[in-house]
Structure 1
């Protein structure tokens, strides 16, 4: 019989169908093939293998092999509560998860509520509101580094949100709404913030600056075009490396030279800034002079097409990705 380590190396290169066949060769092959087959599981509404959820629900031993699990279901896919109950059990069985993505019906956040501890979990992304079920999950997952969660729930559920101050002690990256960010970010070492909904105001910026780590990356949308907002960012997030702010403000007239000069002056107070986009404008920096290493910023040119489309903001900011 081949050594287990060699079998494991062989199985890594096999297709799922071949792994399933290998699992029937012998008990040794079965354990290795199943470990590889279930290591990374990705399911969606068009998958023919959604029955995998039932398998993982009924076999805790198999579920413990899963290291990354992603499920994305169309909200109109019409899955019954019985399927979601199986999903809840399957998730509770996956004790060794390092990455979890759950994008399903927002009303099914209860699938996250279990007593399992996930000591290896570092990434969590879900389509759920930051409701009591999600908060219960977050309160016991102490090693999460990356988190994506939707907005806070309707006011009727807000009273039940009790995120412990000691929860998420290693969280470094947050993606979600500005409302959820104000609950998650303060008091935690978050360096990267991507607001995919909600309004970035000066008050929100002040709250986000309560992160216990310097904020290095910020991407957000705002209804403002105020220079004072940029001034607030440069004052309370002085270590920014990458900044992108888009706006819903309808510019009836192109800003004048003074407007741009005020933004440029504000940006000079960010010594670490490398890339910057504000109101749809890309800003570039250069040294003041051969003898002066400090940076000066200027816009590449005002383009209203970047800010407006028939008077409406291009509201898809899911591409808040910075070139670093």
Structure 2
């Protein structure tokens, strides 16, 4: 007896193990159709030989490549080849990137693409994006910023979330017609989440677009240079067509004085009632008077829900939950809208969350991704 096609799909969606889905493919043609949708909708590969095998399959089987909606490709030299030298460049098999390129050209319905490359791997492979017809919603890219990447981004009109690990405004490609078009709001008109390691990229992707969530990093080390960089960054952020909800500003050296200056500049730039819901990382001052200044600035952010606070300078270290909870209660007196705190000590986060007026461990909150959704 044949079941409605919806029933086959429902059964396939409730099977978690991919091995069981593969077995179900052999039961009948209708089960094969339903299970292949589940098997190939979201792909995540890392081992080079397995990646090549999968990409060759997608290239040869259009029926399968058209099912792919999300594709994550990770290349980690330590996991791939244990005998590689720690300081040598790692090169995958010679046909690795050509196989990936051919597969991407076949995945016409792709909406999410993430390419993660570890250190020691050359990054000049954005050419694999040439001749791709898909229109992404989410794109995480560790490739070098070059003409191929600029040209590809100029075609991605549906993109809403973008992560780029490299940006160089001085290269000739940024003077090309494609790079110039990236500055036009009609290109990538719906971008809302931007994760970039250089503040200069904010000037290209934020003005005229509805960007609400930004993560970036100061490239300057001197105080005066950082002040100039901060002023330009805030000016570009104010050109977004939507209020800024989330801002992460990383720095190679976190100091109390600059954190207070940064927070004060934020309040002034987005006043009189800033709409920020997430801000950080900020150094939590040890000195009580300076801490009150920080609380006073946070009090102006009346919609703030989450703050990331660096407590690495505290001695003795704030290692106990009771000490962190006491600081959370203290901050909450001045900034009652804050319900979640990320305390960072030596790059390790501890999440505290207030539920019913009681501060407890953050539970299932993911410290590295919560900024995107708040």
TM interval, shorter chain, is: 0.7 to 0.9
Say which of 47, 64, 88 aligns to 2:101.
Answer: 88
1:25–1:255: structure 2 CA closer, same or farther, 3 Å change rule?
A: closer
Render the CA deviation track for 1:260-314: whole Å, top value 9, x for unaligned.
4443443333221233345548772336xxxxxx9699xx9xx9x94xx7xxxx5
Q: State the shift of 1:73 in Å.
A: 0.7
The two structures, once aligned, show a CA RMSD in angstroms of 3.5
The alignment status of 1:150 with 2:183, answered yes or no, reads no
- Hey, which bits of structure 1, 4+ residues long, moved more than 6 A? 294-297
Deviation at 1:315, TM superposition (A): 10
Match of 2:40 in 1: 38
Where does residue 149 of structure 2 map in the other structure?
A: 134
Counterpart of 1:212 (choices 241, 262, 269) is 241
Deviation at 1:206, TM superposition (A): 2.4
What are the ranges of 5 or more consecutive residues in structure 1 without an aligned counterpart? 288-293
What is the TM-score with the length of structure 2 in the denominator?
Answer: 0.68
User: In terms of mean alpha carbon deviation, does 173-182 or 276-285 score higher?
Assistant: 276-285
Alpha-carbon distance, 1:87 to partner? 0.9
Aligned position for 1:291? none
- TM-superposed deviation, 1:174: 1.2
Give the alignment partner of residue 125 of structure 1, picking from 140, 145, 148. 140
- What is the CA distance between 1:218 and its match in structure 2? 0.8
* Cα pair distance change 1:196/1:69, threshold 3 Å: farther
Alpha-carbon spacing, 1:203–1:278, altered in 2? closer, same or farther (3 Å): farther
Aligned partner of 2:207 in structure 1 is 186
Stretches of structure 2 lacking an aligned partner (at least 5 in a row): 78-88, 221-228, 313-326, 350-365
* CA distance in 2 between partners of 1:197 and 1:61 (Å): 46
Instruction: Flag the 1:184–1:245 CA change in 2: closer, same or farther, 3 A.
Output: same
2:195 aligned partner? 175
Higher helix share: 2
Q: Which residue of 1 aligns with 2:72?
A: 70
Q: Measure how far apart 1:122 and its partner are.
A: 2.0
The answer to whether the 8 A contact 2:161-2:193 is kept is: yes
Shift in alpha-carbon separation, 1:49–1:207, aligned structure 2, 3 A:
closer
The alpha carbon displacement at 1:319 in A equals 4.9
Looking at structure 2, the residues matched to 25 and 49 of structure 1 have their Cα atoms a distance apart, in angstroms, of 27
Which residue of 2 is the match for residue 241 of structure 1?
277
CA distance in 1: counterparts of 2:168 and 2:158, whole angstroms: 24
Paired with 1:101 and 1:259, the residues of 2 have a C-alpha distance of 41
Q: CA deviation at 1:102?
A: 1.3
Q: How many residues align?
A: 299
